[in-house]
A = this chain, B = another copy of it.
């Protein structure tokens, strides 16, 4: 609950204090632009009905009062009365220290290692998440927070993996199809279609936008080897930063280049860093794939040796067992990875027996939206 509201700086600023001792200042212009009344925001869909150009440049707060726990404001020169709930203001306060060191992780994101994750792999059965919104919210929440999860109880048949995506969103179709086969081939267009081991990697870094989710589902698996593993790219990037701030700086401040030209008519190229930070330094994406890394040409000559040393060290850490969580997919099982964070790998497998996986891509917008909506309903 707000305890006091004071108008400052000729109405440019309102200073609020809450009963628990917290305080925050808000600018008149910010408050006006974010007003919650039904002339500013559509009551039906919540969209803003005015543009910044509809709001007078000389907007001030004429007076501010506390009324039933709400902040009641009159804006000049419009003479417009608006109320803001105490909780809403508290949740949207921006009057705080903003500076954080590069590579910070958003709230909720939990970096993990083998020690913390090998025995705690998020897992659900398809039947459970299908019938229980709470179970679905937990499973999707694990993907949001940990960047991967396993699902079992899927039909071990072609296309069964689409059921996973149907739970929260839509398949991202690509030149590989709506989904693609991951089976050993004699003349593969992609090295994934062999029985070689694959170093931990993110998929399709040569695509912009990159597919932000990947599902890999098992239909058949009787080979020796071929286990799947996952590595938290954020945890590895944090470890690199700890050891070598300069290496972290180079991999996050120099774009890399990725390319795939494995079949006729396809010339996919992207220019993005291996470690991507938002403009405020938040760690937002990892791209790592030795197969499709193109010549890196956006690093200065003098920095190139240190860039390569950082890339090598990043690769060593990615291979370090302490980051690797391993499991063996059985028919009817699938896993999903946040392809902007969690790398996946495959152990080599023998030619006897068969191993048939299918993969598909999807995007995080739908997953994050669905879990947010489910959690909102659960809280209500």
A: residues with CB less than 8 A from B are 12, 25, 27, 29-30, 33-34, 42, 44-53, 57, 92-96, 98, 169-175, 187-191, 199, 207-210, 212, 252-255, 259-273, 276-280, 282, 290-293, 295-301, 304-305, 308, 311-312, 315-316, 319, 363-366, 368-370, 372-373, 376
Contacts and interface: CB of A to CB of B under 8 A. Distances in A.
A216 B316 CA distance: 48
A337 B172 CA distance: 19
A273 B279 contact: yes
B267 A187 contact: no
Contact of A279 (B57, B252, B315): B252
B262 A95 contact: no
B47 A292 contact: yes
A254 B267 contact: no
Rank and list the top 3 A-B pairs by shortest CB-CB distance, nearest first. A45-B262, A209-B209, A267-B372
A259 B173 CA distance: 25
Contacts of A187: 44
B278 A255 contact: yes
Contacts of A295: 30, 34, 92, 94
Contacts of A210: 209
Contacts of A173: 170-171
Nearest to A370: B265
A365 B312 contact: no
Given A209-B363, A364-B208, A254 B266 contact: no
Q: Is chain A's binding surface mostly helix, strand, loop or mixed?
A: loop
A44 B376 contact: no
Contacts of A49: 191, 291
B191 A45 contact: yes
A145 to B, nearest CB: 16
Contacts of A208: 212, 364-365
A47 B170 contact: no
A203 to B, nearest CB: 13
Nearest to A50: B290
A48 B373 contact: no
A72 B297 CA distance: 21
Contacts of A264: 373
Given A173-B170, A279-B252, A94 B304 contact: yes
B268 A29 contact: no
A365 B209 CA distance: 7
Nearest to A304: B27
A260 B47 contact: yes
A268 to B, nearest CB: 5
B94 A297 contact: yes
Given A93-B297, A312-B57, A52 B290 contact: yes
